[in-house]
Amino acid sequence: MLEQELKEIWKHSSETKKIKFETPQLLIDLNDKMKHIENSIKRRDITEIAASLFGMLIFGYFAYEIPFTLTKIACVLNILWFAYLIFKLKNNKRQKQLNDLNLPIHEQLDNQNKNMQTEAKLLNTVLYWYVLPPLFVNILFIFGFGDPIAYDWSPLIIETLSDKNLLHWLPISLKMKIIYISGALIFNVFVIWINKRTVIKRINPIIRDIERIQDQLKNENRVNN
């Protein structure tokens, strides 16, 4: 009796609103929304690749122009690192499970959990793929940098640097080298911190939430919430 009564109460609960679809417009809206989302994803992908390609181009130019051997090597390594960065980000996207809402709830939660774990792993390991390689390359770049005048660098470049009063900003002296390397170290510590913080503050709570719901679905005798 109570069971039937509850089902009746439940069924009538949607009568508080009359839902009306403006059909032709709805299909247009849905298409627009879909395009908007697809375009944002495309834009984000293009930005990521463009930033890396820009970096490759700049260091390609440096490698060609700068006469110091160690710095030249650092430029080439930097280009390789940018290429690896594109591969790494693309690969991470490929590893993610498809967001298939046709799946049963338990499997869908499992996919979300795996995606979050992949994201957490990527951010937790930035030290090894995002920080250490370019840091090493940057140190090589800075240490390899010599005096442009002594190395008989292109007169046009030396003139431009002198005119703009930029020569003393270059990492030529030991003092400037130490300042630049310290700056790079501080920046990279910040990068690690911000990524770890994202994992702790944003991703881990989501993983815990997903696992809690998975447990609640599977197991008996769980404490509510």
Partner 1 sequence: MQSNPEIDFEEILEKNKHKIYRICKVYAVYPIEPQDLFQEVVFQIWKSYSTFKGTAHISTWIYKISLNVCLRSKIKFDKKNSKMVRLESIQFLTPKHIPDESEQEKYQFLRDCISSLNEGDKSIVILYLEDLSYKEIASITGLSENHIAVKMKRIRKKLFDCITPKLN
Site track 55-84 with partner 1 (rule: CB under 8 A), x = hit = ------------------------------
> How many residues make contact with partner 1 (CB under 8 A)?
55
Q: Quick check: 109 and 209 in contact, CB under 8 A?
A: no
In the numeric block, the tokens 């130019």 are attached to 61
Return the exposure string of 204-214: e unless at least 16 CB atoms fall within 10 Å of the residue's CB, then b: eeebeebeeeb
**Could you say which DSSP state residue 168 is in?**
G
Q: Quick check: 99 and 111 in contact, CB under 8 A?
A: yes
Is 21 near partner 1 (CB under 8 A)?
yes
What are the angstrom distances between the C-alpha of 33 and each of 27, 42, 44? 10, 14, 17
Is 1 near partner 1 (CB under 8 A)?
no
Handedness of CA 29, 32, 38, 40 (dihedral sign): negative
> What is the footprint of partner 1 within residues 194-213 (CB under 8 A)?
202, 205-206, 209-210, 212-213
Distance in Å, CB of 38 to partner 1, minimum:
11
162 vs 204 by CB, closer to partner 1: 204
168 vs 212 by CB, closer to partner 1: 212
Distance in Å, CB of 99 to partner 1, minimum:
9
Name the one range near partner 1 by CB under 8 A: 25-33, 61-69, 151-159, 186-194.
25-33
56 vs 119 by CB, closer to partner 1: 119
Is 216 near partner 1 (CB under 8 A)?
yes
Specify the length of the chain in residues: 225
Q: Angle at Cα 182 formed by Cα 174 and Cα 143, nearest 5°?
A: 40
Closest CA to 188 of 136, 118, 122, 144: 136
> What is the footprint of partner 1 within residues 154-183 (CB under 8 A)?
none
Distance of CA 42 to the CA centre of its chain: 15
163 vs 220 by CB, closer to partner 1: 220
| Binding residue (CB under 8 A) for partner 1 from 43, 106, 121, 168 | 106
In the numeric block, the tokens 């010599």 are attached to 146
Q: Residue numbers of the site for partner 1 (CB under 8 A)?
A: 2-3, 5-7, 9-23, 25-30, 33-34, 100-109, 112, 202, 205-206, 209-210, 212-218, 220, 222, 224-225
